[in-house]
A and B are shown apart, each in its own frame.
Chain A
Amino acid sequence: MKTNTLKRRAGAAPRRTAKLWQLRLYVMDQTPKSATAFANLKKFCETHLKGCYHIKVIDLLKQPQLAKGDQILAIPTVVRQLPKPVRTIIGNLSNIEPLLVGLDLRPSV
Chain B
Amino acid sequence: MFSLDSRSAKESQGFPRRRTLHDDMKQQLKTLLPKCPTGIQGLDEITGGGLPRGRPTLVCGGAGCGKTLLAAEFLVRGATQFGEPGVLMAFEETEKELKANVASLGFDLEGLVRRKQIVIDYVHVERSEVQESGEYDLEGLFVRLGHAIDSIGAKRVVLDTLEVLFASLPNEAILRSELRRLFRWLKDKNVTAVITAERGRESLTRHGLEEYVSDCVILLDHRVNDQIATRHLRVVKYRGALHGTNEFPFLIGDEGISVLPITSLSLNHKVSAERIATGIPRLDAMLGGRGFFRGSSILLTGTPGTGKTIVSANFAQAAARRGEQVLFFSFEESPDQIIRNMHSIGLRLEPLVKRGLLRFHSARPSLYGLEMHLATMFKEITTFKPQVVIIDPITSLMGSGTDSEGKGMVTRLIDYLKAGQMTSLFTSLTQGGHALQQSEAAMSSLMDSWLLLQDYEGNGERNRVLYVLKARGMAHSNQIREFLISDRGVDLVDAYIGPSGVLTGSARAAQGALEKAAGLSSQQEAARRKRELERKREAIERQISGLRSDYESETMELRRIDEQVGTSTLMLTSERTASGILRQADAKVADRTRGRARNGKTNS
Contacts and interface: CB of A to CB of B under 8 A. Distances in A.
Interface in A75-109: 75-77, 87-99, 101-102
Contacts of B146: 64
Contacts of A75: 136-140, 143
Contact of B141 (A33, A73, A97): A73
Q: In which size bucket is the chain B interface?
A: 20 to 34
Q: In which size bucket is the chain A interface?
A: 20 to 34
B125 A91 contact: no
Contacts of A33: 135
A26 B140 contact: yes
A99 B143 contact: no
B169 interface: yes
Contacts of A67: 140, 143-144, 147
Contacts of A96: 133
A22 interface: no
B132 A60 contact: no
A65 B140 contact: no
Interface in A25-44: 26, 28, 33, 37, 40
Given A68-B121, A75-B137, A90 B132 contact: yes
B141 A90 contact: no
A93 B134 contact: yes
A72 interface: yes
A65 B131 contact: no
A108 B132 CA distance: 13
Task: Decide if the interface of chain A is mainly helix, strand, loop or mixed.
Answer: mixed
Given A60-B140, A73-B123, A94 B135 contact: yes
Contact of A101 (B131, B137, B143): B131
A47 interface: no
Contacts of B133: 89-99, 102
A74 interface: yes
A30 B125 CA distance: 26
A6 B140 CA distance: 32
Interface string B104-137: 0000000000000000010111000111111111
Given A67-B140, A74-B169, A75-B140, A90 B147 contact: no
Interface in B160-185: 165, 169
A60 B143 contact: yes
A40 B169 CA distance: 22
A49 B144 CA distance: 31
A1 B144 CA distance: 32
A4 interface: no
29 contacts: A26-B140, A33-B135, A61-B143, A67-B144, A67-B147, A68-B121, A68-B144, A72-B143, A72-B144, A73-B125, A73-B140, A73-B169, A74-B137, A74-B139, A75-B136, A75-B138, A75-B139, A75-B143, A88-B131, A89-B132, A90-B130, A90-B132, A91-B135, A92-B134, A95-B133, A96-B133, A98-B133, A102-B131, A102-B133
Given A67-B144, A89-B130, 10 more contacts: A64-B147, A72-B140, A74-B137, A74-B138, A74-B140, A77-B136, A90-B130, A90-B133, A93-B133, A102-B131
